[in-house]
Amino acid sequence: MELTLILFYVLSSLTVLSALLMVFSKNPVHSILYLIITFFCISGHYVLLNAQFLAIVNIIVYAGAIMVLFLFVVMLMNLNNETLSFGKPTKLLAASLISLLFIALTVGIFSKNQIASSTAVEPITGEIGLIHNLGTLLYSEYVLPFELSSVLFISAMIGAVMLSKKEEEILD
């Protein structure tokens, strides 16, 4: 077997394992840490597909910023075992039925759409996912939407800071 195929199988099994551990973990902090591992494994898949920029953005944005935010929220909420219980068994039954419905729907979709074995995904060895091409496209064809999004992000950050301040601090 070639190295790319071995790496694909290792990353895929790690992704599925960490995702299952995330779902079935009773501790919310452990679930978040397992989700971070899942994001790192998905970034490994991006590297195998020669999409280095997506891999780096996935690590920085999802595993870095958003998961740290989730971790802080869970820690600030001070979740204990009483707040994590389902309460009534009807909620557990409803959640189980909805999950089974989605599993049946997914199996039905995959059984109707038979994919030929000749259309397997091969790793791309060209210049498709490289940062140079993306930067050239962003700063030539899409420069106006890129700059408008930066103005939107800075205004959202200023608004978040203003909303987090108390009224006494604003008036001083």
What does the pLDDT look like over 90-130, one tens digit per residue? Answer: 777 877 888 788 788 778 777 776 554 445 555 555 555 56
Q: Is the dihedral of CA 15, 20, 23, 24 positive or negative?
A: negative
Q: What is the pTM of this model?
A: 0.54
What's the CATH code of the domain at 41? 1.20.120.1200
Q: Does any domain span residue 130? A: no
Query: CA-CA distances (angstroms) from residue 130 to 31, 73, 135?
Result: 32, 35, 9
* 46: containing domain: 3-125
Kindly calculate the radius of gyration of the chain based on its CA atoms and give it in whole angstroms. 22
Contacts of 129 (CB under 8 A, 6+ apart): 46, 49, 50, 51, 52, 53, 54
Q: How many structural domains does the chain have?
A: 1
Q: Does any domain span residue 166? A: no
Q: Does any domain span residue 78? A: yes
Q: Does any domain span residue 144? A: no
